[in-house]
Amino acid sequence: MNKHVPSWYDDEVGAVHELASDFFEREVMGHAEKWDAQRRIDREVWLKAGKLGLLLCSVPEEYGGGGGTFAHDLAVFEAQGYSGDLAFGVSVHSGIVAHYILEYGTEEQKTTWLPGMATGEILGAIGMTEPTAGSDLKAIKTSAIRDGDHYVVNGSKTFITNGSSADVIVLAVKTDPKAGAKGVSLLIVDLRDCDGFEVGRVLDKVGQHAADTSELSFVDVRVPVSNLLGESEGLGFGQLMAQLVQERLIIGAQAAGAMERAVEETVRYTKAREAFGHSLFEFQNTAFELAECQTIARTSRVFLDYCIEKHLHGTLDASDAAMVKYWLTDKQCEVIDRCVQLHGGYGTCAST
Ligand SMILES: Cc1cc2nc3c(=O)[nH]c(=O)nc-3n(C[C@H](O)[C@H](O)[C@H](O)COP(=O)(O)OP(=O)(O)OC[C@H]3O[C@@H](n4cnc5c(N)ncnc54)[C@H](O)[C@@H]3O)c2cc1C
């Protein structure tokens, strides 16, 4: 296939992509059935990813990271999308949590958390969503009230990726419960041996069964004031909005990988499957369907490349980021649905 090679995809990014593709195929997809059944992934896979240098690729080497650009992280996330894995919470750990600490953390916060996150020994999560506040983030109720050198944290979070196994969480709290968006702050909370912290249910979702998506509760949890992210209280909402651009790009990259894989697999399947004395691939309807799916995948990829290049130059804005997330995930669903139809009954099975 005549693959377009964008300017951000240099030899080094290509090498990370190749390594990540192999890792997801062998170390992740190879365990998918077991992990789905046990409703969680094995912790050791984080250490394997860390050993291969697939975590925190764009964090500077002085903090244990790969010293690359965000393109290196995106190569990992795209390889994950291509592999079909939906369980390994690497985009949250590397693409989101590490970047809050890198962007807003003090030198001490960075040296405390990032090296362990890069090796996979420390697993990260981000806690924004609450049972009564999702889209309306400023309505969160988890409070962090100052008491001497500590904040006392009370509240609950839900839908937290990596939640039941995380060692550290960037937690959205209200340091001023009456101040709306201006009362939101982000705290780094060490969840290891943390009095008052409890994991609730690991949510039983309709899909992504092995993905750890959990409820968490905090009762009088004492967090040192030095764990505040940013120079003062009340900056959390702006910090969350600023990071959203990069976070939306991650989802676009995963969608591009998933779409391309769906088309490739369906070409392979329709060539092998026979009906009425021909391969499915030889029917004109199959050709139309695959040509349209390939067109959608290719044009989506071009838009993604445009957004990645802008992001690497620091010019990707919020509307572009919203468009890339919206468009690629919408097209991902369409392409995969059409590819599933071409598999007939076998399209409903977990493996063919
Ligand atoms: C698999 C998974 C992993 C997740 N991981 C994390 C995580 O790691 N950390 C974390 O903090 N959260 C996480 N989330 C939570 C996710 O961010 C929220 O689900 C999301 O913010 C939406 O919130 P909600 O579910 O409360 O829906 P609601 O906010 O209740 O929205 C319900 C519906 O109403 C619509 N709606 C809301 N407001 C408006 C409006 N003003 N106008 C029109 N329509 C509106 C929404 O679009 C949606 O269709 C995860 C969720 C899932 C499913």
Band the pLDDT of 5: cuts 50, 70, 90: confident
Distance 162 CA to ligand 1 centre (A): 17
Pocket of ligand 1 (CB under 6 A): 92, 126-129, 134-135, 159-161, 208, 213
Q: Which CATH number fits domain 125-234: 2.40.110.10, 3.30.930.10, 3.30.420.140, 1.10.150.130?
A: 2.40.110.10
Distance 135 CA to ligand 1 centre (A): 5
Smallest CA separation from ligand 1 atom 45, residue: 135
How is residue 309 written in tokens? 């290049």
β-pairing, 197-202 vs 274-275, is unpaired
State the chain's mean pLDDT as an integer. Answer: 96
Band the pLDDT of 72: cuts 50, 70, 90: very high
Q: Report the residue among 97, 159, 251 best suited for mutation to probe ligand 1: largest number of ligand atoms under 8 A from its CB.
A: 159
Burial class (CB in 10 A: 0-12, 13-18, 19+), 55: buried
Q: Is the pLDDT of residue 351 over 80?
A: no
Backbone φ and ψ for 54, nearest 5 degrees, come out as -95, 0
Backbone φ and ψ for 12, nearest 5 degrees, come out as -70, -45
How does pLDDT run across 155-199, given as a tens digit for each residue? Answer: 999 999 999 999 999 999 999 999 999 999 999 999 999 999 999
Q: Which CATH number fits domain 11-122: 1.10.3720.10, 3.30.565.10, 1.10.540.10, 3.90.1150.10?
A: 1.10.540.10
What's the pLDDT at 339? 98
Q: SS3 sequence, 297-352?
A: HHHHHHHHHHHHHHHHCCCCCHHHHHHHHHHHHHHHHHHHHHHHHHCHHHHHCCCC
How does pLDDT run across 102-122, given as a tens digit for each residue? Answer: 999 999 999 999 999 999 999
Q: Report the residue among 135, 216, 237 best suited for mutation to probe ligand 1: largest number of ligand atoms under 8 A from its CB.
A: 135
Q: Is the pLDDT of residue 1 over 60?
A: no
Distance 130 CA to ligand 1 centre (A): 10
134 Cβ neighbours under 8 A, 6+ residues apart? 159
Q: Is the pLDDT of residue 350 over 80?
A: no
Q: Is the pLDDT of residue 312 over 80?
A: yes
Catalytic choice (25, 247, 264, 309): 247
Ligand 1, atom nearest to 128 Cα: 11
Segments of the chain assigned to CATH 1.20.140.10: 238-348
How is residue 120 written in tokens? 């996979």
How does pLDDT run across 248-284, given as a tens digit for each residue? Answer: 999 999 999 999 999 999 999 999 999 999 999 999 9
What's the pLDDT at 349? 87
Segments of the chain assigned to CATH 1.10.540.10: 11-122
- Please give the share of the chain, as a percent, with pLDDT higher than 90: 96
What's the pLDDT at 3? 65
Q: Cβ(41)–Cβ(35) under 8 Å?
A: yes
Ligand 1, atom nearest to 211 Cα: 1
Q: Cβ(212)–Cβ(38) under 8 Å?
A: no
- Rounded Cα gap, residues 327 and 305, in angstroms: 13
Q: Is 292 a catalytic residue?
A: no
Residue located via tokens 């290719």: 298
Distance 98 CA to ligand 1 centre (A): 22
Smallest CA separation from ligand 1 atom 50, residue: 159
Could you list the beta-strand ranges (E) of the chain: 124-127, 143-147, 150-161, 168-174, 184-190, 197-202, 213-224, 274-275, 278-279
CB atoms within 10 A of CB 120: 22
Q: Is the pLDDT of residue 81 over 60?
A: yes
Smallest CA separation from ligand 1 atom 20, residue: 134
Average pLDDT over residues 142-167: 98
What CATH superfamily classification does 238-348 receive? Butyryl-CoA Dehydrogenase, subunit A, domain 3 (1.20.140.10)
Query: In this structure, what DSSP letter does residue 203 have?
Result: P
- Please give the share of the chain, as a percent, with pLDDT higher than 70: 98
Segments of the chain assigned to CATH 2.40.110.10: 125-234
Q: Is the pLDDT of residue 202 over 60?
A: yes
